[in-house]
A = this chain, B = another copy of it.
Amino acid sequence: MRLLVVEDEARMARALERGLTADGFTVDLAGNGVAGLARAREGQYDAVLLDVMLPGLSGYEVVKRLRSEDNWVPVMMVSAKDGPYDQADGLDYGADDYLTKPFDYVVLLARLRALLRRQSDPRPPVLNHADLCLDPATREVTLAGEAVALSRREYELLEFFLRHPDRVITKTELLDRVWDARGVGYEPNTVEVYVGYLRRKLGSGLIATVRGAGYRLAR
């Protein structure tokens, strides 16, 4: 099992290297975000341990870029626990697990093993709805077998709808979860526009409007 540890504090980095090596992992170190991203891109790691506070490129940025490049290597984020948004952000950006400093080494090991175990059952399941099909692993969407090209926002909006069928979703919630975690700085109209795009590409019957409340995946 090959791990990449991205951590700028030398003491911490060496301690992790020593411990994880002793527990049978092969460990590579990177001391900043840029180096970590470059290493992770090589695609040879079974998991990445990623500090949030890094000089230059933050851990958030690293995992966000990896995901946008279709790199789904398991990522565990590590951060000093201070900001209220930390954990939410990390998971939003595509980390698979999250650990706050100070942490117990045994806990880290357990969570890491769980992460690797989880990952070994191969990829996230395909989401289906009527003749629509979305594969989170490849980010591919097909309608009645025909591939449909979606932009990033369109895709993520659709994925959110498919992950929450059978319930009404408000525009505010969509702005929170699909757009920015803080959900501010966007107009509700933006959601309307993107729902419009999806309807144009996938048929107007897919997403139902619930006036005064939001949208819902049609049955």
Pairwise interchain contact B137-A87, C-beta atoms closer than 8 A: no
Chain copies in the assembled complex? 2
User: Are B84 and A31 in touch, CB under 8 angstroms?
Assistant: yes
**Within 8 Å of chain B (Cβ to Cβ): is A11?**
no
Say which one of A13-21, A72-80, A210-218 lies at the interface with B.
A210-218
Say which one of A112-120, A161-169, A188-196 lies at the interface with B.
Answer: A161-169
In the complex, how many angstroms separate the beta carbon of A51 from the nearest chain B beta carbon? Answer: 14
Residues of A in contact, count (CB < 8 Å): 38
Interface of A is mostly: loop
Task: Indicate if the CB atoms of B181 and A138 lie closer than 8 Å.
Answer: no
> In this complex, what residue of B is CB-closest to A83?
B35
Smallest CB-CB separation from A219: which chain B residue?
B138
Taking A35-B85, A68-B168 as given, write out 9 further A-B residue pairs in contact, using a Cβ cutoff of 8 Å, ordered by the A residue number: A32-B84, A35-B84, A38-B84, A39-B88, A41-B88, A70-B164, A138-B167, A139-B216, A151-B212
Could you give 5 example pairs across A and B, Cβ below 8 Å? A34-B182, A137-B167, A139-B210, A139-B216, A155-B212
